[in-house]
Amino acid sequence: MGLVHGEEMVLNIGPQHPATHGVLRLQVRTDGEVVSQITPYMGYLHRCFEKHCENVTYEQVIPYTDRCDYLSSMSMNFGYVVAMERLMDIKVNERVEHIRVVMAELQRIASHLLCTGVFGLDLGAFTPFLWALRDRERILDLFEFTCGARLLYNYMWVGGLSHDIPVGFVESTFEFLDYFEPKIDELENILAHNKILVERSADIGVMPKDIAISYGVTGPNLRASGVKWDLRKNDSYSIYDRFEFDIPIGEGKKGTVGDCWDRFYVRILEMRESVKIIRQALASMPKDGDVHQSLPKKIRPPKGSVYARTETPRGDLGYYIESDGSPIPYRLKMRSPAFTALSVMDEIAAGWLLSDVLAILGSLDIVLGEIDR
Amino acid sequence: MSQEKEKLIAELVNKGLDGDMDSVNACEDRVTRSKVKAMIMKIKKGSLDRPQMPVSLSDTPNESDDTGKTDDKTTEDISQKIKNMLLDNFPDETDETGQDGHMYVRPDKWLDIATWLKTESSLLFDSLQCQMGIDVGEDILESRYNLHSMVHDHYLEVRIRVARSNAKIPSVEQVWRIADWFERETYDMLGIEYVGHRDLRRILLPDDWEGWPLRKDYKEQETYHGIVVPKMKEGWD
Amino acid sequence: MTVDFIFEGLNQLFPSFAGNDIFLILAMLLPFAGLFGFITIYGFGVIYSELKVSSFIQDKTGPMGQGPGLHAGKWGLLQPVADGLKLFFKEDIIPASADKPLFILAPFLIFIGAFISIIAVPFGEKIIVADMNIGIFYVLGIGSLAVIAVILAGWSSNNKWALYGGMRSAAQIISYEIPAGISLVVVIMLTSSLSMQEIISYQAGGLFNWVIFDNPFMPIAFVIYFISALAETNRTPFDLPESESELVAGFVTEYSGARYALFFLSEYANMFVVSAVAATAFLGGWQSPFSDFLNTPIWSMFWMISKTFFLIFVMIWIRWTVPRLRVDQLMHVCWKVFIPIGLFNIFGVAIWTVLRG
């Protein structure tokens, strides 16, 4: 492509554009439809997360983490409390661990549903998006049932949870899983094996292993490139080591390993794995246990620092917390997975057509709230 | 009251006074807890002397007083091993102040060390997990790198300290490509200049923003393009 | 034909004024008024069915209402009216840097193109506004007017997205006219006429006399025509000119209010025209599928409209099911798949006609 060179044009995709999933500006240089360079400009959604954290107490940070990745708030909470508990050396009881895992995996399904749906939408298929949202809605109902909020939960607290799960939650969740499992096949059938979608995404935007690792790409994007790396197994935080599940990796079934189709398909496979984990966690959840048992009265971690990572739907979420022994964090850094995923854009998307660039952007599954923080 | 209980109370009171109220709150016996708290109050008022810290008698999880790094032994082993290797390869480049979980490196040859860390076959730190900057006070800025090896599955934290007046660190964006954006962010927030970075611009803030927001002495500018910048409130009010 | 028919009818009704020029003008205006009314009603109908069919496919309820009132009416029937009213009352914005005359001209041009194609569509033996002897040729020719309008819209908006949309659309519509034309050539070879009415009368005598079942090459021609028609009307999977996730809204990015409504309406009018041509050329037009049964003029209208609407339904169905193609794939399908098959089809039908007929 691009043998005949014409005059180059600079095109701003965003900050208001249907395909940028938020307020992101991609400045692209195009020669006709062929894109030669992509420069992302972020910061439109910058809310000074890290600066705010230096002014509020440790427990007040949790609602801010919700608002960073608003599509997977539970996982953001989870990452923070794991880091804090590691810093303060708190052990939470079994019931809390189980509930956390269930919530995080439900959140993973919800987030992946949105991602796969939006990926279809970026390629012009509107219906799968609404199907995905319909199922996501049921997960949000479960969350609302648990903590009253549908998007920003503030559910996981350092040393426990804000509420115990309500009566009937386990049954409703099982009911949802029974309903949901056939729906994954439905979504897979309408999208993954659709000839047009395969044509549009296979062999497009291939991200080789070494590039992915060098750019710090993590999560499903890294696994789609064929690296079997999942913190739930490799780092086994919380109680993930007790559950049986596979780590799906990209195999290049329709094209090359690490193409858009792989990134999309890995997420569908991961939803199945999450369903498995939730089933096991719900089955082995202890019937009693106080979710406030290890809740410290005042959070005053010892002097020191911790870097803890957890696996969110978008990849490795790291919190680097530096404590000076006061109830206010001295410095808190969030290593956000979408930030690193976006940085690889120019590397893998230059040279493709304009439509492909947006397909690649959709397959990376970025959330601007977390990139800009 | 038994001997043991007295000891426990004394221990908890000491901890509480040192700022570790969590271990006090974690005490399961309510009577003991209230006694401890009452004692702390009295000591703070000055009506009671601080008891002697008893010799440790229990090994409850609340007792650990490490720096928060609860990584397993291998991490410390590897960082010690690397430190020794580094001393062999790059004498005079490490600071001895580094503790168990991390090591300090002098900025001058950081690029060489980084390349060595990535390529040395027994280390192979191919992934830069996180890079952050921190204002540690006393006119010192720190740049911290959390490295991880996908092949050997070991971790290392490297810290580089520079004076504010000469906040220059060699850039490693060509060693680990993600450092490109991480360093831009640290530059944006703390004003550490990464020498050799090919595209060192602000990333999250507007290009014409003044000051380095995450430095501890940061003062917001009064107005930005004619818009009054709201003052950040102290604490939660 | 109808103009003459109405003129004669008026002459017979009022013999004292026979041959009056006013009758001639009336006879010309009446069918147009009727056609305009038809398009309006059709527009509401098709927008409503698009909403409802998509809701059915997407597992949602779509427009709903509990009765006549200010909301969407019984079963949401008033939703298209509300949509139309909203569009017509919206502020009409012309960008400061737009090429004003061309910007204003484009929506009218595209609407005129869609509107005057319909006069050649037959609804019954006598129910046709203009039975030209080159009817099918006329529809194809007028249909190309849309390209000019789309390029004008894309260029005059002075917006990069609109320009992309306009250029894509030009390439797309011009390319897909070739396979569409080629597959209609096959029909013309078979019926040896360009007149819509004669093509239909060739298919008289029930389902199995329809062109699509005439010989094994015809279903292929029908599929090629139908897909090319989708591309010509910019419907998914060929909606690249206005692909909302890539080009914001393509060539209509800068249009708002009534001007946008004209683009919107002409897309649906175009859908009707291409479906009507497909029904005429392949599915027996206004002929009943049961030979002489139910073949009266009123029923002929019913058959024509239901065949057309069936094809429109399929278009809506496809739109809400499949993703969008990419520019190069679109061209690949056209030039490397459809045109060779179409040419082969012409060859095959020619031999078939010689051998069989």
- Is the same domain home to B122 and B156? yes
Question: Of A124, A199, A353, which is closest to C327 when you measure between CB atoms?
Answer: A353
8 Å CB contact of A307 and B205: no
Instruction: State the residue range of the domain holding B31.
Output: 3-63
pLDDT of residue C212 exceeding 60, the answer is yes
Peptide bond into C289 cis (omega under 30): no
Residue C340: the pLDDT is 92
Count how many Cα atoms sit within 13 Å of the Cα of residue A280 in the half-sphere of its side chain.
16
C236-248 residue pLDDT tens: 788 877 777 777 8
B22 at interface of A, judged by CB pairs closer than 8 A: yes
8 Å CB contact of C245 and A358: yes
C239 at interface of A, judged by CB pairs closer than 8 A: yes
Mutate: best of B66, B102, B129, B205, partner A, most A CBs <10 A: B129
| Three-class DSSP labels, chain A | CCCCCCCCEEEEECCCCCCCCCCCEEEEEEECCEEEEEEEECCCCCCCHHHHHCCCCHHHHHHHHHHHCCCCHHHHHHHHHHHHHHHHCCCCCHHHHHHHHHHHHHHHHHHHHHHHHHHHHHCCCCHHHHHHHHHHHHHHHHHHHHHCCCCCCCCEECCEECCCCCCCHHHHHHHHHHHHHHHHHHHHHHHHCCHHHHHHHCCCCCCCHHHHHHCCCCCHHHHHCCCCCCHHHHCCCCCHHHCCCCCCCCCCCCCCCCCHHHHHHHHHHHHHHHHHHHHHHHHHCCCCCCCCCCCCCCCCCCCEEEEEEEEECCEEEEEEEEECCCCCCCEEEEECHHHHHHHCHHHHHCCCEHHHHHHHHHHHCCCHHHHHC
Q: Which one of B20, B35, B63 terminates a domain?
A: B63
B205 at interface of A, judged by CB pairs closer than 8 A: yes
- Is the same domain home to B118 and B156? yes
Residue B48: the pLDDT is 66
Structural domain spans, chain C:
1-31, 94-356
Residue B79: the pLDDT is 65
Taking 70 as the pLDDT cut, the residues of chain A under it are 1-6
**Nearest-Cα residue of chain A relative to residue C168:** A33
- Is the same domain home to B86 and B201? yes
Tell me the chain B residues in contact with residue A60 when contact means C-beta distances shorter than 8 Å.
236
Beta-strand runs (E) in C24-73: none
Nearest one of A243, A366, A230 to A311, comparing CA atoms:
A230
For C320-353, letters b (16+ CB in 10 Å) and e give: bbbbbbbbebbeebbeeebbebbeebbebbeebe
Average pLDDT, chain B: 73
CA distances from C119 to C184, C284, C301 (A): 19, 18, 15
**Structural domains counted in chain B:** 2
Pair of tokens at residue A233: 């197994």
Question: Of B127, B202, B235, which is closest to A216 when you measure between CB atoms?
Answer: B127
B92-148 residue pLDDT tens: 655 555 555 677 777 877 888 888 888 877 778 888 888 888 888 788 888 888 888
Sequence-ordered list of residues with C-beta below 8 angstroms from that of C192, at least 6 positions apart, any chain = none
pLDDT of residue B185 exceeding 80, the answer is yes
Task: Give dist(CA B167, CA B190) in Å, integer.
Answer: 9
Task: Give dist(CA B147, CA C345) in Å, integer.
Answer: 64
- Is the same domain home to B171 and B134? yes
C356 at interface of A, judged by CB pairs closer than 8 A: no
Mutate: best of A12, A27, A29, A355, partner C, most C CBs <10 A: A355
Question: Of A55, A234, A296, which is closest to B235 when you measure between CB atoms?
Answer: A55
Tell me if B131 is assigned to some domain. yes
CATH code (residue B211): 3.30.460.80
pLDDT of residue B19 exceeding 70, the answer is no
Mean pLDDT of C200-212: 81
Task: Give dist(CA B196, CA B185) in Å, integer.
Answer: 15
Task: Give dist(CA C177, CA C227) in Å, integer.
Answer: 11
B76 pLDDT band, cuts 50/70/90, is low
User: Most confidently modeled of C138-142, C290-294, C339-343?
Assistant: C339-343
B68 at interface of A, judged by CB pairs closer than 8 A: yes
Nearest one of A289, A323, A295, A307 to A90, comparing CA atoms:
A295
Pair of tokens at residue C198: 């004669």
pLDDT of residue C32 exceeding 60, the answer is yes
Nearest one of C276, C289, C254, C8 to C119, comparing CA atoms:
C276
Q: State whether the Cα torsion B22-A300-A309-B87 is positive or negative.
A: negative
Tell me if B233 is assigned to some domain. no
8 Å CB contact of B65 and A302: yes
Nearest one of A317, A367, A319 to A342, comparing CA atoms:
A367
Do chains B and C touch, with touching meaning 3 or more CB–CB pairs less than 8 Å apart? no
Residue B42: the pLDDT is 66
Sequence-ordered list of residues with C-beta below 8 angstroms from that of C43, at least 6 positions apart, any chain = C80, C84, C265, C268, C269
Question: Of A19, A200, A353, which is closest to C323 when you measure between CB atoms?
Answer: A200
Structural domain spans, chain A:
9-372
Tell me if B54 is assigned to some domain. yes
Q: What residues of A are in the C interface, CB distance below 8 Å?
A: 9, 11, 17-19, 33, 120-127, 130-131, 134, 190-191, 194, 196-197, 199-200, 353-356, 358
Tell me if B12 is assigned to some domain. yes
pLDDT of residue B75 exceeding 70, the answer is no
Q: Which one of B23, B42, B63 terminates a domain?
A: B63
Q: In chain B, where does DSSP find H-type helix?
A: 3-17, 21-26, 30-45, 73-89, 110-119, 179-190
Tell me if B204 is assigned to some domain. yes
Residue range A9-372 forms a domain whose CATH class is mainly alpha
C61 at interface of A, judged by CB pairs closer than 8 A: no
C67-117 residue pLDDT tens: 565 566 677 787 888 888 888 888 888 888 888 888 888 888 888 888 888
Those of residues 29-58 in B touching chain A at CB distance below 8 A are none
8 Å CB contact of C245 and A124: yes
Task: Give dist(CA B153, CA C189) in Å, integer.
Answer: 73
To the nearest whole percent, how much of chain B has pLDDT over 90? 0
Q: Answer for the pair A89, A360: CB distance below 8 angstroms, yes or no.
A: no
Q: Answer for the pair C163, C255: CB distance below 8 angstroms, yes or no.
A: no
Residue B63: the pLDDT is 33
Average pLDDT, chain C: 83
Query: What is the CB neighbour count within 10 angstroms for residue C14?
Result: 11
C198 at interface of A, judged by CB pairs closer than 8 A: no
**Nearest-Cα residue of chain B relative to residue A315:** B129
pLDDT of residue C307 exceeding 70, the answer is yes
Q: Hey, is C197 helix, strand or coil?
A: helix
B62 at interface of A, judged by CB pairs closer than 8 A: yes
8 Å CB contact of B22 and A90: yes
Q: Answer for the pair A346, A39: CB distance below 8 angstroms, yes or no.
A: yes
Task: Give dist(CA B73, CA B75) in Å, integer.
Answer: 5
Task: Please list the residues that pair with B161 across neighbouring strands.
Answer: B142
Q: What is the complex's ipTM, to 2 decimals?
A: 0.84
Run of H or E including C72? none
pLDDT of residue B234 exceeding 60, the answer is no
Query: What is the CB neighbour count within 10 angstroms for residue B29?
Result: 11
Instruction: Give the global pTM.
Output: 0.80
Q: Answer for the pair C74, C67: CB distance below 8 angstroms, yes or no.
A: yes
- Is the same domain home to B210 and B125? yes
Pair of tokens at residue C86: 């909203």
Residue B95: the pLDDT is 57
pLDDT of residue C350 exceeding 50, the answer is yes
Q: Hey, is B90 helix, strand or coil?
A: coil
Q: Which one of B63, B94, B114 terminates a domain?
A: B63
Give me the amino acid identity at A316: D
Tell me if B21 is assigned to some domain. yes
Sequence-ordered list of residues with C-beta below 8 angstroms from that of C236, at least 6 positions apart, any chain = A124, C318, C319, C320, C322, C323, C324
Torsion angles phi and psi, residue C292, rounded to 5: -90, -5
Sequence-ordered list of residues with C-beta below 8 angstroms from that of A238, at least 6 positions apart, any chain = A78, A82, A97, A100, A101
- Is the same domain home to B54 and B79? no
C63/C107: higher pLDDT:
C107
Least confident of A245-249, A311-315, B227-231, C226-230: B227-231
- Is the same domain home to B148 and B34? no
How many Å lie between the alpha carbon of A172 and the closest alpha carbon of chain C?
22
Residue A195: the pLDDT is 85
